[in-house]
Copies of this chain bind each other. A is one copy, B any other.
Amino acid sequence: MKVTDDSSPLCPVARALTCVGDSWTLLILRDAMQGARRFDEFQRGLGIASSMLTRRLERMVSNELLEKRCYQRHPPRYEYHLTAKGHDLAPVILTLYRWGEQHLPIEADGFRLVDRRTQGPVEPILYDRCHDRPLSPGDVCLAPGPDANPAVHARVERMRNAFERGDFPDSQPAAARADCRAAMAASDSINE
């Protein structure tokens, strides 16, 4: 990937993707979050070529997603531990998990996401901490910051036009929010 667009370095999504924009990196993070630490644990869990794994672990260390900890000298051997930065990608992984479960279903049921204490089901959704309520992606939009360049303004403008054209299915405020509350109430009563 070689991005040349003006607005790219300003966009947090583009910046995030230079760090975690490939499958292996995210799968390594997944396994690290499941407790994998050593080279061969990752290799077995992923079926990745060892040369690739070496390259990826190195890049992840240099991007500060993982840190090396020596657990043996002669020969020097390292464990790869998640840093706080790496750990903070957990919401991304969980969100992907949920999407994969919903939209790429398979017949088999191999994994379940559960509450650690109760072992009951868990359903991660987005929530807006500022307004203290569930967040529909349609509730949100982009605004230019003080350092916005013309490309950023064009983006913001285009998004507003799209909204005015009615392109956003989940941005009918009242209905969407009512649905959401109803769904929450329903799932609550099911789980009671």
Interface residues of A (CB under 8 A from B): 1-5, 7-24, 26-27, 30, 33-36, 41, 44-48, 81, 84-85, 87-104, 106, 108-117, 119-132, 134-135, 137-149, 151-152, 155, 158-159, 161-163, 165, 167, 169-171, 173, 183-184, 187-188, 191
Q: Give the residues in chain B near A11, CB-CB below 8 Å.
A: 30, 100, 110-111
Q: Give the residues in chain B near A170, CB-CB below 8 Å.
A: 87
User: With A and B bound together, what is the CA distance between A135 and B126 in angstroms?
Assistant: 10
Q: Give the residues in chain B near A16, CB-CB below 8 Å.
A: 96-97, 99-100, 103-104
Contact A147 B108 (CB under 8 A): yes
User: With A and B bound together, what is the CA distance between A7 and B7 in angstroms?
Assistant: 39
Number of copies of chain A assembled together = 2
Contact B34 A116 (CB under 8 A): no
11 new A-B pairs (CB below 8 Å) besides A4-B47, A16-B104, A110-B152?
A8-B46, A12-B104, A14-B100, A15-B104, A19-B104, A22-B22, A35-B163, A108-B147, A112-B142, A114-B140, A129-B134
Q: Give the residues in chain B near A92, CB-CB below 8 Å.
A: 92, 95-96, 99
Q: Which 8 A-B pairs have the closest CB atoms?
A: A35-B162, A10-B110, A12-B100, A90-B137, A127-B127, A21-B23, A16-B100, A4-B47
Q: Give the residues in chain B near A9, CB-CB below 8 Å.
A: 106
Interface centre among A10, A155, A183 (most CB of B within 10 A): A155
